[in-house]
Amino acid sequence: MKIYLINAAPTIISKDNKKETLFQTSAPPLGLMYLASALKNAGHAVFIVDQPAFNLTNEEVIEFIKKKDPDVVGFSTLCASFENVKEISKELKKWNPNLSIIVGNYLATFYAHNILTKYDWVDICVRGEGEKTAPEILNRLESNKDLSEVEGISYRSNGKIIENKDRPLIKDLDSISFPDRKLLPAFYKNRIGGVDITKRKFATMVSSRGCPYSCNFCACTAFSKGLWRTRSVDNIIDEISMLSDEGYREILFIDDNFTLNQKRINEFCIKIRKQNLDIVFIGDGRVNNGSVELFKTLKKANFEILMFGIESSSQRVLDSYNKKITPEMSRTAVNNARKAGFKFLVGTFMIGAYDETYQEAIDTLKFISSLDIDFPHIIFTRALPGTQIFNELIKKKIIDEEQFWETGVDIIDLPGSKMNREVIFKIIKDQFHLKFFRPKYIMKAFTRTLISKYRREIIFNHLNLRDINKFVKIINNPPDLF
């Protein structure tokens, strides 16, 4: 069968309440590339369309698919891109009623029944991992067999919605074929705060799946049933060597919890150093895994950027997220990473928990300014479908599930939340740039750039007016809060 896999572009509702499609190419749709390998191994013809990366409008995607005339179209459904998924899939089904429309990823996993009930042009929802499920579906569609035996799907049959039992998570991750990255041009760039960091050929990888922690704002726990599974270090290195041969020079690990197992990290770093590859690695980790030893091991293995989920400086807010860290742990992890020689650190923060006060939010901004990090990524806390925080707020009748199951909602916009979006946004906007222009920050940034070959590469990569203007704009307009 011929299948097109579509990574639809995210949308936002702009100030004048219009739907605006965001075109950004920050990371390749790895999930679809994994699916593509599995479907190809099963003998199907597979292609991927990454709408945001190609700046395609919905109309252009629809016209493109009509020309290709596939048997099946599969969509990655995340809350941010579901609007465009609906619009594109509806038009395609109208054009060819025999076209099978399959949706997968987080939203399809947590709200399959709602999707099939409300959108009658969607035929099948794949819940959970798709590498085993998708080939089974296409093999059965191809031989006109029914889908009753296919685990991990919800589908429509004779007007009824059938929910087959969950498919167990894939135990042996080494059994999964490497993602087929060749289905899309290698034009993705490692992007932080909307800025391409280097010119290096860039790829993302997952070396493990899932996370044993249960932060209530994160959907990964429910998606991977609280389990953490890892690939063998040799399997990970085989993929990296292959990428190295294909000219990749920068790899971002997008694991849910990359540094969970120190023993694994040690084995990986020892073995990858023996390969002596000219590849820079980027990883993220929890601050409670923040020892100097761990960071030294990563630094020696050519990790150049570390990202920490710090979230807030209020212990009360951190506990309300069930994050199981303290602000002290965050500061220690940052300082330990510096001691280990890291010259580029990113912290991610959330402001706007339901009962978070202005004082707590302001304290977090001051905390950000006091931390020795290079870039803070700040977003408003969002209650996303499938997360504990979303379900808790539904139970408390603060979130109307019917209204928000497709999109999620920024908690700050909910009735009864302690802060007002405009007020706290202005505070953040006014405080944000103070961090960057502070002399101590500039001095450190300058000396670190003198020492770090990677930082010099980044700077020389942006020594042009366009990027300098962009950087100044970012400093004055916190990127992710719009």
Answer yes or no whether residue 7 interacts with ligand B12 by CB under 6 A. Answer: yes
Cβ 383 vs Cβ 411: under 8 Å = yes
Residue 12 vs 442, nearer CB to ligand B12: 12
Task: Compute the distance between CA of residue 459 and CA of residue 302 in angstroms, rounded to an integer.
Answer: 19
DSSP state of 79: G
110 CB contacts (<8 Å, ≥6 apart)?
219, 222, 385, 386
Site for ligand B12 in 222-261 (CB under 6 A): 254, 256
Strands 45-50 and 19-21: unpaired
C-beta of 280: minimal distance to ligand B12 in Å? Answer: 18
Task: Compute the distance between CA of residue 34 and CA of residue 71 in angstroms, rounded to an integer.
Answer: 20
Task: Compute the distance between CA of residue 405 and CA of residue 397 in angstroms, rounded to an integer.
Answer: 14
Answer yes or no whether residue 219 interacts with ligand B12 by CB under 6 A. Answer: yes
Helix (H) or strand (E) run with residue 347 in it:
strand 344-351
Side-chain half-sphere exposure of 283, counting CA atoms within 13 A: 27
Cβ 451 vs Cβ 343: under 8 Å = yes
State the binding string over 41-80 for ligand B12 (x if CB under 6 A, else -). ---------------------------------xxx-xxx
Residue 206 vs 269, nearer CB to ligand B12: 206
Stretch that binds ligand B12, among 96-104, 144-152, 229-237, 423-431 (CB under 6 A): 96-104
Residue 256 vs 449, nearer CB to ligand B12: 256
C-beta of 452: minimal distance to ligand B12 in Å? Answer: 24
Candidate list 21, 58, 81, 417; residue touching ligand B12; CB under 6 A = 81
Cβ 170 vs Cβ 131: under 8 Å = yes
Residue among 249, 265, 323 nearest 299 (CA) = 265
C-beta of 52: minimal distance to ligand B12 in Å? Answer: 6
Ordered DSSP codes for 374-431: SEEEEEE-EE-TTSHHHHHHHHTTSS-HHHHTTT-EEGGGSTT-SS-HHHHHHHHHHH
State the binding string over 345-384 for ligand B12 (x if CB under 6 A, else -). ----------------------------------x----x
Answer yes or no whether residue 107 interacts with ligand B12 by CB under 6 A. Answer: yes
Answer yes or no whether residue 102 interacts with ligand B12 by CB under 6 A. Answer: yes
C-beta of 138: minimal distance to ligand B12 in Å? Answer: 10
- In this structure, what are the phi and psi dihedrals at residue 281, rounded to the nearest 5 degrees? -110, 150
Answer yes or no whether residue 10 interacts with ligand B12 by CB under 6 A. Answer: yes
Answer yes or no whether residue 104 interacts with ligand B12 by CB under 6 A. Answer: yes
Stretch that binds ligand B12, among 27-35, 285-293, 332-340, 355-363 (CB under 6 A): 27-35
Cβ 224 vs Cβ 188: under 8 Å = no
Residue 267 vs 410, nearer CB to ligand B12: 410
Residue 2 vs 456, nearer CB to ligand B12: 2
Residue 9 vs 340, nearer CB to ligand B12: 9
Residue among 117, 127, 135 nearest 153 (CA) = 127
C-beta of 438: minimal distance to ligand B12 in Å? Answer: 27
Residues at the site binding ligand B12, with contacts judged by CB under 6 A: 5, 7, 10, 26-27, 29-32, 34-35, 74-76, 78-81, 102-107, 126, 129-131, 134, 206, 218-220, 254, 256, 379, 384-386
